[in-house]
């Protein structure tokens, strides 16, 4: 005995959606069967039941109510799953056999459109990746809710792809099955993304316009992959999709995933949330569109000075006029999310309340225009001219939809009286009928003298006259026809009542049906305005970010930066924007930062907890703020434009891939050394601490020397290796600075002040004391320190070069033992390998790796 026809239908549809939960519509429920049911019951914490499927064994089953399915779908999507919605596409009354069903939409983490599943202030991107060369990838990403799509070519290898994914709010990635398994594993485990495979079908002719601006063939193809996936999974057209926009990565500052994480630009390292990040400090936007735009600007700082200065000019214009700025902020508060409203109109899930939000937004645009004209800045005046309030669309919505419509668009009572003549006729018939019903109740009360008599309605019996049992004897014989008996009352009908009921219900049914059709027509008319709405949304979001920069600059006493061509940096009384905000009542200690052509490296020494990392981070954050067009936390700021920022700050072990702190240090240092230019900023904090002292010092010195001799990038390098301070004498571009601390009554006091020269003490034991370690332990540490300092006093201020020389000299006095044949052969192989190495073409990191491999070989021998 086989499965029932209905279960066979389910299995056939499920075979096309193996990687998704299939929500199979049965009446008022979405049902799931077999493994889907077991997994869904566990993930959604709902009851797992079973049903007869035509075989001896019962089939596992679980279900969720149709009317509340959205919350369950949201839970699954947030966990990275996909949900295929399978609806009945045939009227059960006319179906012959099993009702026809089809998947009408595939909801995935990257294709969510429902408001409850989205963060208003975040984009929700779907991406596509294809490898097109040994270290080159085509990369595209699209937000279906806003219609924007971006495409680019990444030439720096897989790590650069991961950085792009890390830097964007991407939830799902489309990749070919042939993509390396290691890459796919990283996407799932490290980046925690949902993977999908392309759907290779003919690209719709009417959608070719979306990729007409993409000239590169490979980028053209990746856009087609992305769009095709959208069309095939959502099974509808998208009038709101904008043309794919090609991004030239060279036009923006490069911020890799390490830098974004270490600098806490959009999320804190510890909690991975907005609080404690740069975004948390400077986000004073008042619209959802503005919040998303701000994040995009932070993720891609500008490299073109004219564009940066244009933003700064407008920010200054808003900054200088407080009253107008406050009026602008208040007006912007009345603007709803025009981008996502446009998406909902196109997608077909917009309701009447959404359109009322759209109308209210449009009605406030003229006020924003007026306020922008009140600023003295000509660029802001020009922005006002670019705003289109779309009066025709506003009039359409004003004339058609009532001010407080219901959520549902199928229950009527959406449109205003007078909008459509036929609808008015149906409404009059319905209202007159209801007036007749009210009059009937009044007459019957008088005729029967039953004050509690009432005329009611329900969907099962229609209209009825209800009389309590205590009053039944008052009804004249033959006046009513009994319809239903209740516990305490009887319900009756009359011929006139049933005739009037028919007229009322027909009028209401026709009214609701016509109103629904009229609403769909209005929605189609609104679709025609989508490009204009998107352009308006773009301008409004820009205005919001510019006022945000002005507002936060005024509130926090930021200053406009100036950019020079002298390749120098001079910050007077620079501050860390986040630390300053978190400290609140305590005064942040500002410091000067100066770098120029001659002295482009700062070697920073000083005790732990003194503020070395803060000092380094505040320079990077100041540069990012300036290059997105915001004022900066300083008394004055003279900057050059940086093309990249590389950081190694904090001991963040990569536990997922099993890499130690030291390996992460080396990988991040390698990334900086390989890609930095003389226009880059490099921040390296305590490089080498993850290994032995001499190894660490050797690596740290080699990295400093390599950057100094070959890259000439602006560099801040903090260290506890005081021996490295002697490099100031050998490297012309390096300058020693230290964070000042004082010892008062055997207690260390951190002054957080930067001074010239090297620190003379590390205060490590004092920090341990501050951390609350036991006194007995602290006392013992002091004794051991005195012994070490006494025994090693001859080594205290010697450079690594001299230490290496001593070790080399010592090896001459080791008595050689006769070598065996096997040892001679191993030595010969080692010598040959050394001869083949081209040291002059190696980076310090590559040389260290080769040295490590050779050392392992010697130890094994």
Q: What is the mean pLDDT of residues 519-544?
A: 96
The answer to whether 293 and 545 have CB atoms below 8 angstroms apart is yes
Are the C-beta atoms of 597 and 568 separated by less than 8 Å?
yes
Q: pLDDT grade, residue 802 (50/70/90)? A: very low
309-318, 408-417, 497-506, 852-861: lowest mean pLDDT where? Answer: 852-861
Residue 258: pLDDT band with limits 50, 70, 90: confident
Q: Kindly report which listed range (115-124, 247-256, 292-301, 689-698) carries the lowest average pLDDT score.
A: 689-698
Show binding-site residues for ATP: 606-613
Query: What is residue 835's predicted lDDT score, i.e. its pLDDT?
Result: 67
Q: What are phi and psi of 182, to 5 degrees?
A: -60, -40
Q: What is the pLDDT of residue 670?
A: 85
Tell me the C-alpha to C-alpha distance, in Å, between residue 729 and each of 403, 733, 799.
77, 10, 11
Beta strand ranges found along 541-691 (DSSP E): 562-563, 569-574, 591-595, 601-605, 636-639, 644-648, 681-685
On the 0-12 / 13-18 / 19+ scale of CB atoms within 10 A, 392 is exposed
Q: 421-516 domain in CATH 3.40.630.30?
A: no
End-to-end CA distance of the chain: 70
Annotated binding site: 606-613
What mean pLDDT comes out for the span 504-524? 92
Asked if 530 and 281 count as a contact pair (C-beta separation under 8 A), the reply is no
Rounded CA gap, 172 and 168, in Å? 11
pLDDT tens, position by position, 89-133: 888 778 888 899 999 999 999 999 887 889 999 999 999 999 999
Bigger pLDDT: 271 vs 412: 412
Q: Is 233 left (phi over 0), alpha (psi -120 to 50) or beta?
A: alpha
Instruction: Indicate the pLDDT class of residue 525, thresholds 50, 70 and 90.
Output: very high
Half-sphere exposure of 675 (CA within 13 A, CB side): 23
Mean pLDDT: which of 272-281, 364-373, 468-477, 835-844 is highest?
364-373
Q: Which long-range contacts (CB under 8 A, 24 or more apart) does 369-378 make?
A: 371/324, 371/327, 371/328, 371/331, 372/328, 372/543, 374/321, 374/324, 374/327, 375/317, 375/318, 375/321, 375/324, 376/317, 376/320, 376/321, 377/313, 377/314, 377/316, 377/317, 377/318
- d(C-alpha 388, C-alpha 392), whole Å: 11
Architecture of the domain spanning 5-107: 3-Layer(aba) Sandwich (3.40)
397 three-state secondary structure = helix
Between CA 305 and CA 332 the distance in angstroms is: 29
Nearest alpha carbon to residue 107 among 97, 118, 96: 118
User: What class is the 119-251 domain?
Assistant: alpha beta
Reply yes or no on whether the pLDDT at 416 is more than 60.
yes
Query: Does 812 score more than 70 pLDDT?
Result: no
Q: What is the pTM of this model?
A: 0.83
To the nearest 10 degrees (0 to 180), the angle between helices 844-860 and 821-836 is: 170
Residue/partner pairs of 803-809 with CB below 8 Å, 24 or more apart: 803/694, 804/698
Cα separation, 135 vs 611, whole angstroms: 39
Report which of residues 817 and 424 the model is more confident about. 424
C-alpha–C-alpha distance, residues 300 and 296, integer Å: 6
* Structure confidence at residue 806 as a pLDDT band (50, 70, 90): very low
Confidence band for 783, pLDDT divided at 50, 70 and 90: confident
Question: From the centroid of its chain, how far is CA 146?
Answer: 14
pLDDT of residue 796: 43
The percent of residues above 70 in pLDDT, for the chain, comes to: 88
* Between 765 and 6, the higher pLDDT residue: 6
Query: For 362-388, what is the mean pLDDT?
Result: 96
Which CATH code is given to the segment(s) 562-761?
3.40.50.300
Tokens coding 418: 């007078």
Confidence check: pLDDT of 840 > 60: no
Angle at 360 between CA 354 and CA 361, to 5 degrees: 90
Confidence at residue 609, expressed as pLDDT on a 0 to 100 scale: 74
**Per-residue confidence at 307, pLDDT binned at 50, 70, 90?**
very high
| Residue 815, pLDDT score | 43
Q: What is the mean pLDDT of the chain?
A: 88
Asked if CATH classification 3.40.50.300 holds for the domain at 283-381+529-556, the reply, yes or no, is no
Place of tokens 């205005």: 543
């Amino acid at each position: 005995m086989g499965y029932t026809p209905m279960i066979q239908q389910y299995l056939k549809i499920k075979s096309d959606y193996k990687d998704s939960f299939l929500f199979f519509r049965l009446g008022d429920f979405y049902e799931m069967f077999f493994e889907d049911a077991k997994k869904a019951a566990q993930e959604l914490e709902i009851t797992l039941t079973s049903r007869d499927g035509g075989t001896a064994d019962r089939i596992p089953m679980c279900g969720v109510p149709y009317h509340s399915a959205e919350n369950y779908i949201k839970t699954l999507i947030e966990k990275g799953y996909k949900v295929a919605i399978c609806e009945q596409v045939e009227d059960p009354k006319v179906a012959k056999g099993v009702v026809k069903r089809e998947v009408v939409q595939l909801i995935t983490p990257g294709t969510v459109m429902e408001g409850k599943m989205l963060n208003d202030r975040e984009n929700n991107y779907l991406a596509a990746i294809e490898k097109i060369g040994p270290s080159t990838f085509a990369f595209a990403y699209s937000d279906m809710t806003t219609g924007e799509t971006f495409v680019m070519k990444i030439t720096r290898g897989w790590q650069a792809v991961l950085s792009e994914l890390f830097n964007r709010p991407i939830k799902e990635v489309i990749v070919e099955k042939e993509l390396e398994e290691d890459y796919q594993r990283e996407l799932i485990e490290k980046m925690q993304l949902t993977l999908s495979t392309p759907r290779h079908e003919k690209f719709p002719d009417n959608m070719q316009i979306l990729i007409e601006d993409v000239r590169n063939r490979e980028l053209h193809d990746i856009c087609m992959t992305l769009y095709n996936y959208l069309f095939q999974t959502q099974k509808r057209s998208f009038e709101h999709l904008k043309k794919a926009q090609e991004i030239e990565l060279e036009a923006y500052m490069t911020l890799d995933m390490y830098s974004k994480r270490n600098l806490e630009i959009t999320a804190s390292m510890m909690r991975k949330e907005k609080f404690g990040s740069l975004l948390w400090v400077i986000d004073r936007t008042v619209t959802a569109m503005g919040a998303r735009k701000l994040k995009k600007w932070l993720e891609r700082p500008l490299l073109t000075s004219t564009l940066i200065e244009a933003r700064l000019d407008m920010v200054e214009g808003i900054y200088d006029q407080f009253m107008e700025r406050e009026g602008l902020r208040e007006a912007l508060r009345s603007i709803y999310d025009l981008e996502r409203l446009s998406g909902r109109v196109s997608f077909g899930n917009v309701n009447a309340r959404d359109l009322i939000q759209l109308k209210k937004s449009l009605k406030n645009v003229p006020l924003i225009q007026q306020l922008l004209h009140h600023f003295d800045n000509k660029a802001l005046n020009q922005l006002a001219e670019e705003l289109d309030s779309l009066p025709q669309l506003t009039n359409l919505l004003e004339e058609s939809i009532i001010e407080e419509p219901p959520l549902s668009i199928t229950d009527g009572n959406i449109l205003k009286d007078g909008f459509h003549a036929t609808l008015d006729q149906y409404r009059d018939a319905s209202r007159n009928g209801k007036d007749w019903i009210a009059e009937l109740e009044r007459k019957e009360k008088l005729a029967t003298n039953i004050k509690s008599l009432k005329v009611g309605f329900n969907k099962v019996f229609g209209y009825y006259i209800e009389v309590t049992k205590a009053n039944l004897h008052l009804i004249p014989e033959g006046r009513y026809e009994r319809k239903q008996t209740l516990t305490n009352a009887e319900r009756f009908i009359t011929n006139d009542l049933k005739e009037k009921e028919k007229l009322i219900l027909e009028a209401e049914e026709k009214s609701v049906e016509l109103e629904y059709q009229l609403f769909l027509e209005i929605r189609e008319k609104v679709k025609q305005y989508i490009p204009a709405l998107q352009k308006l949304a773009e301008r409004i979001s820009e205005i919001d970010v510019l006022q945000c920069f002005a507002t936060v600059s005024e509130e926090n006493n930021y200053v406009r930066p100036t950019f020079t061509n002298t390749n120098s940096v001079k910050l007077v009384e620079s501050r860390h924007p986040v630390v300053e905000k978190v400290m609140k009542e305590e005064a942040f200690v500002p410091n000067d930062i100066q770098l120029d052509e001659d002295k482009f490296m700062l070697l920073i020494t000083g005790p732990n907890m003194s503020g070395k990392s803060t000092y380094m981070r505040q320079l990077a954050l100041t540069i990012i703020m300036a290059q997105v067009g915001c004022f900066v936390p300083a008394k004055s700021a003279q900057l050059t434009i940086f093309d990249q920022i590389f950081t190694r700050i904090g001991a963040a072990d990569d536990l997922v891939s099993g890499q130690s702190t030291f390996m992460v240090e080396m990988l991040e240092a390698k990334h900086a050394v390989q890609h930095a230019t003389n226009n880059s900023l490099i921040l390296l904090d305590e490089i080498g601490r993850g290994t032995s002292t001499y190894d660490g010092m050797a690596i740290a010195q080699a990295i400093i020397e390599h950057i100094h001799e070959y890259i000439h990038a602006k560099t801040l390098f903090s260290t506890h290796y005081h021996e490295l301070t002697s490099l100031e004498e050998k490297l012309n571009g390096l300058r020693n600075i230290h964070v000042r601390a004082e010892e008062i009554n055997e207690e260390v006091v951190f002054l957080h002040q930067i001074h010239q020269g090297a620190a003379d003490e590390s205060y490590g034991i004092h920090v341990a004391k501050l951390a609350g370690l036991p006194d007995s332990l602290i006392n013992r540490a002091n004794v051991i320190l005195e012994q070490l300092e006494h025994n090693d006093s001859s080594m205290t201020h010697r450079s690594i070069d001299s230490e290496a020389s001593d070790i080399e000299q010592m090896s001459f006095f080791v008595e050689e033992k006769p070598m065996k044949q096997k040892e001679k052969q191993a030595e010969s192989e080692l010598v040959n390998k050394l001869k083949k190495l081209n040291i002059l073409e190696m980076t310090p990191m590559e040389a260290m790796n080769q040295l490590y491999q050779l050392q392992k070989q010697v130890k094994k021998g």
